[in-house]
A and B are shown apart, each in its own frame.
Chain A
Amino acid sequence: MAVTNIRIPGWMRLEGILTPQRRKEPWPWLKPGVFFGSLVPLVGLAVRASQGELGANPIAQAENELGLTALVFLVASLACTPAKRLLGWTWPMRLRRQLGLSAFFYALLHFLTYLVLDQFFDWEAMLADIAERPFITVGFAALVIMVPIAITSTNGWIRRLGFVRWQRLHQLVYLAGILAAIHFFWRVKIDVNQPLTYAAIVGVLLAVRAAFWARKRYGPKPAPRAQAVRR
């Protein structure tokens, strides 16, 4: 694929802030604002690490913060569709892709911290962890699931796959959300309040989808004349 095919979205070029918008989109500040805000946890971590302010066990601290931030983004990306359907808000839908990509970005950093800093490329120990420790198994599975979703997040891939197939692939994110919540829950030693809160939010967000799906499938059918006309 030629490099020229990659089109930088208007919000990345700060259209509406530095230059006029070519394509009118409401709230041109929304996407760049959320994008730069999304970098704050990483910058904060880097600054504190450079000043030795991550506490006595900085690797574990970085691992925990990166993982939790990834989960926050994952939950936020799962909340966009229910926000539109329940509240009628459309602006979260415009953020969905970048929230999902941020989730993947932080999940990847979380994994790399574990691989490089925590285990120091001890592949044997890492494979044993993935095979034998359920909480690591599910966390790794969540990351693996997010890889194809992140790769196919562009408009080009929607066209290439066709919307229906693309959507089916991206519905795997529900599984990633569940696995990530379990990963957090199983990791904690005793105080499960925080993991349970995240698990509950993921549960509610998926239940909303299930309810809409069930209503579409089993609810009152659309008026029959619409079909009659087509025949």
Chain B
Amino acid sequence: MKDLPKEPLSSEITPKAVYVNRREFMKNGALALGTAAATGSALLWLGGQGPPPDVPEVAAASADNPLIVAGRSYDVPDEAQTPNRDVITYNNYYEFGIDKDDPARNAHTLVTRPWTIQVEGLVARPQTIDVDTLLNWFPLEERVYRMRCVEAWSMVIPWLGFPLASLVKRLEPMGSAKFIEFTTLLNPEQMPGQRSPILKWPYVEGLRLDEALNPLAFIATGLYGSVLLNQSGAPLRLVTPWKYGFKGVKSIVKIRFTDEQPKNTWAIAAPREYGFYANVNPEVNHPRWSQANERRIGEFQRRKTLPFNGYADEVAGLYAGMDLRANF
């Protein structure tokens, strides 16, 4: 006769050790989870994993300020334009921090109105010009240029602005002027990066006067159809597409004409690595990395870097007879 089993099956019995230690297992499990969480968050913090800047917000800010443009004078027809969100969130603007997305996060503290540009040195009339006055002097044109950073990445950007040559002629430099020097705003309250001496502030850049008069040299006041955002160098900045990006001095407050070659900020910081000319040159490597190729932002494969960033026809003549290895 079969009775109902009085005992549960052996497989159903919780092992005694587990039964006894259930509380300890739970405690150890919780401690393991806590340790994992603490280790993980410490690593995320130390390893530099943070959320990207709020792109829709900055994009909307730029869409609020459309500009009227007379026409497009230069183009890079066979190369895709870099998406706007990349152009306005991937910036080297050490006045607002050294990470690429720092300027997009921090540049909102920059006040761009009222804004004046001081003109001095070897000019007929030294003067201080309100930026809105200056912007009314010239019709805005759109120019799509390649932008090659000395760090071996590049973009294609539709700038808005006017030729630097028009501005130079209007400012009437004296015949003795050989160079033009630009200076960025110095204001550690608005520019948190200037509170630490990683570079000699304010940022200074310069061009030979014949370079400044080359039709390619451009003063940008906008990009992608809108007024420049602060992280892109508002309210006005230099664009010299045949040179490495650091020549493109941002948020300009001073223009000086001089007969001496200006001492530009990066050449002061590391004279072996950054020169005055800074022409894009795949033949002359940066001491610490190759300049032979570049990563176009948004593309997977690297592409070959072109002499003068593809603008040799327009500018190579400026450097005829010069040793471009010595004058890098």
Contacts and interface: CB of A to CB of B under 8 A. Distances in A.
Contacts of B32: 14, 17, 28-30, 32-33, 36
Interface stretch (B34-42, B110-118, B129-137, B219-227): B34-42
Contact of A128 (B48, B199, B290, B297): B290
A141 B290 CA distance: 19
Contact of B18 (A20, A44, A54): A20
Most chain-A CB neighbours within 10 Å: which of B288, B292, B293?
Answer: B288
Given A20-B18, A189-B151, A65 B36 contact: no
Interface stretch (A82-90, A129-137, A163-171): A129-137
A57 B199 contact: no
A59 B295 contact: yes
A133 B51 contact: no
Contacts of A213: none
Interface residues of A, number: 52
SS of A interface (majority): helix
A37 B37 contact: yes
B61 interface: no
Nearest to B85: A56
Contacts of A16: 24-25, 28
A37 B198 CA distance: 34
B101 A55 contact: yes
Contacts of B48: 64-65, 68
Contacts of A128: 290
A119 B302 contact: yes
A119 B290 CA distance: 12
A174 B39 CA distance: 23
A190 B81 CA distance: 29
A95 B58 CA distance: 45
Interface residues of B, number: 56
Contacts of A19: 18
B270 interface: yes
Interface string A52-88: 0111110110001100110010000000000000000
A41 B35 contact: no
A-B pairs, top 10 by smallest CB distance, nearest first, are A37-B39, A33-B35, A40-B40, A56-B90, A56-B86, A29-B32, A29-B31, A36-B36, A37-B36, A33-B32
Interface of A: 14, 16-20, 27-30, 32-41, 44-45, 48, 53-57, 59-60, 64-65, 68-69, 72, 117-120, 122, 125, 128-129, 132-135, 186-187, 189-191
Interface of B: 15, 17-18, 21, 24-25, 28-29, 31-44, 46-49, 51-52, 82, 85-86, 89-90, 94, 98, 100-101, 151, 153, 196, 198-199, 269-270, 285, 288-290, 292-293, 295, 297-298, 300-302
